[in-house]
Amino acid sequence: MKKPIRVAVTGAAGNIGYALVFRLASGEVFGPDQPVHLNLIEIPPALPALDGVEMELDDCAFSTLAGVTKVDSDHLEDGFADCNWVLCVGSIPRGKGMERGDLIRVNGPIFTNTGKAIQAASADDVRIVVVGNPCNTNCLIAMNNAPDIPRDRWYAMTMLDQNRAKTQLAQKSGQGVSAVKRMAIWGNHSATQFPDFSTATINGKPAPEVIGDDAWFKDEFIPVVQKRGAAVIQARGASSAASAANAALDTVKAANSKTADGDFFSAAVCSDGSYGVDEGLIFGYPLISDGTTWKIEQGIEHDEFAQQKIEATLNELREERDTVKDLLA
Ligand code: NAI
């Protein structure tokens, strides 16, 4: 039997966790011949619910599930031991009257410990996807607390924004979603993100040419994508869970395989200074993967409108970084 891939999921009994772990166990992500061992991590009050998740995993009888280890979040090193992938989903949700800055400060300490424990215990080839919000800055904190882990291993999730944007373009043009490629999300996973329609293609043709309605892009497409999370909360009474879990798995698949020629995928990664972004910030970029590491797509020209949008999201990330500077070891 092949050696199992070990995947840690924090917040595994939460809404996204529940939509994520069965698909990880099913063979969908790493293939039908690749066993997967799941390390499921939760805070102590959620451990009984995690027992239920484990029972249901058992009851699926997945041939690819090699085992499950449940870990209390007070013992993070056990949770990340020998893990090849770490999906950081668990975090404290934004409460009533809480500002974004408060949320950052509340979640920050979780991610200092996460970074330290990943460095101490995970496998040499570990790759990390941060989903828990504010995901760019949580990822920045964890990465800075794990200086021995190469920086190209860290991803914060903007794939849900990419998927939302692709569907908007597909629906507007009357095409299937697979016709839409090269959809970049720049910057922060927040309402300042810039879903850049200018590089997107529909059946190989530039999306602006196919749709031919500049006002629609600026006045409808961008705000709809930026505010889609709030719209789902409004409709469902709970934040996106199945689509967020799906996007986390899409991120792992995209990072773990060669990107098709001419295409790219969106994730926030450690900036090397490309496109005028401060080096070291976790910034959403269009990426090309070789299955192990990535390159940022180069040579995209931004007009004044795009530059302003990128500047706004960059400034927000700089402010978030300043809010947590004491946590960046
Ligand atoms: P949830 O509240 O249903 O689940 C979160 C789980 O994390 C809970 O079971 C909780 O017990 C656990 N948890 C809290 N602190 C923890 C810790 N220190 N260690 C381990 N587990 C811990 O929330 P949901 O809906 O699953 O969302 C999780 C996160 O994902 C939230 O921060 C949410 O804002 C974020 N999110 C990110 C998206 C993105 O595109 N990047 C999209 C949607 C949600």
Q: Token digits for 252?
A: 């792992």
Distance 92 CA to ligand 1 centre (A): 6
Strands 180-181 and 201-202: antiparallel
Q: Could you tell me if 134 and 168 lie in one domain? A: no
Determine the structural domain holding residue 189 and report its residue range: 159-323
150-159 pLDDT, tens digit per residue, is 999 999 999 9
pLDDT in tens, 212-252: 999 999 999 999 999 999 999 999 999 999 999 999 999 99
Helix 100-121 and helix 135-144, axial crossing angle in degrees, nearest 10 = 40
Confidence of residue 98 (pLDDT cuts 50, 70, 90): confident
ipTM for the whole predicted complex goes beyond 0.95? yes
Residues 175 and 283 occupy one common structural domain: yes
Per-residue pLDDT reduced to its tens digit, 279-301: 999 999 999 999 999 999 999 99
Residues 180 and 92 placed together within one structural domain of the fold: no
The whole-model pTM stands at 0.98
Among 226, 230, 208, smallest CA distance to 217 is for 208
Residues 11 and 151 reside in one and the same domain: yes
Helical (H) or strand (E) element with 225 = helix 222-226
Q: Are residues 216 and 281 in the same domain?
A: yes
Q: What is the CATH number of the domain that holds 131?
A: 3.40.50.720
**Is 328 a member of any domain?**
no
- For position 277, which CATH number holds? 3.90.110.10
pLDDT tens digits, residue range 19-49?
A: 999 999 999 999 999 999 999 999 999 999 9
d(CA 229, CA 238): 10
Cα of 218 vs centre of ligand 1, distance in Å, is: 31
Which of 123, 156, 189 represents a domain boundary (last residue)? 156
Quick one: 172 and 56 in the same domain? Answer: no
Check: CB of residue 311 under 8 Å from CB of residue 275.
no
The alpha carbon of 33 is separated from its chain's Cα centroid by a whole number of angstroms, namely 26
Residue of the CA atom closest to atom 35 of ligand 1? 132
Q: Are 15 and 241 in contact (CB under 8 A)?
A: yes
What separation in angstroms does the CA of 136 have from each of 12, 168, 187, 270, 284?
A: 20, 24, 9, 10, 8
* Residue 186 domain-assigned (yes or no): yes
> Which residues surround ligand 1 with Cβ inside 6 Å?
10-11, 13-17, 41-43, 46, 73, 89-93, 110, 131-133, 135, 157, 160, 189, 239-241, 244
